[in-house]
Amino acid sequence: MDTAVEMDTAVFSRWIGEVVTAVHAGREWLTRLDTAIGDADHGANLDRGFEAVSRALADGPPGSPGALLGLVGSTLIRKVGGASGPLYGTAFREAGKVLGDAPEVSLADLAKALEAGLAGVQRLGAAVEGDKTMVDALAPAVRALARAVREGGGRPEALGAAASAARAGAEATIPMQARRGRASYLGPRSVGHEDPGAASTALILTALCAAAASPGGPAGDAGPEGTE
């Protein structure tokens, strides 16, 4: 088992590269989800934000995984409108703070970082599971990763479990009635639609799994339908 195998900045750079590719490919899919229950801009906003992240990293990544995630978070806060920028930006920044300036981090460190990211999102958005938000994908993913670490799972298995839990959590928002965010204004009409924030969270965590398991490989299809 490789729970103690260290991950350096290159692994995290690959993750963000996978996210940039996957968000761009899934832009229209995410926008369709947001059109149904939101402001119809989630895909475009995230795509713009991660393109800005890509430009910020173009001259070379920071010297540690924590610094890299901090830069990602700060960039998203500056560049992404609506609620997505502050929420995703906070998640990345809080995760980066936990990782600190260590040049390499373990899977257990990453689990703690994602726990901090979730806590930051919940502080900012005041959402809990069942509210039909990104928390419904992020919280089960954090639990799955922490459980895999406790059980001594290897990196591919642990990150795969986290990604699978995120995707299942996003799908589970379909029958929910939204209690937070723009979708909550729709009341019962929000039922029957997947939450776009949960969907994009699952996409980002799937990209993490792909980056760690297949260095340098493409992210692949972004959505469940072989998204554009």
- What are 55's two structure tokens? 């430009």
Q: What's the pLDDT at 59? A: 80
Domains of the chain in start order, with CATH, are: 7-213 (1.25.40.340)
User: Mapping DSSP to helix (H, G, I), strand (E, B) and coil, where does residue 7 land?
Assistant: strand
Backbone dihedral region of 176: left (phi > 0), alpha (psi from -120 to 50 degrees) or beta? beta
pLDDT band at 220 (very low <50, low <70, confident <90, very high): very low
Q: What's the pLDDT at 5? A: 66
- What are 79's two structure tokens? 């560049």
- Compute the distance between CA of residue 140 and CA of residue 128 in angstroms, rounded to an integer: 11
Is residue 100 within 8 Å of residue 64, measured between CB atoms? yes
Higher pLDDT, 5 or 190: 190
Is residue 73 within 8 Å of residue 50, measured between CB atoms? no
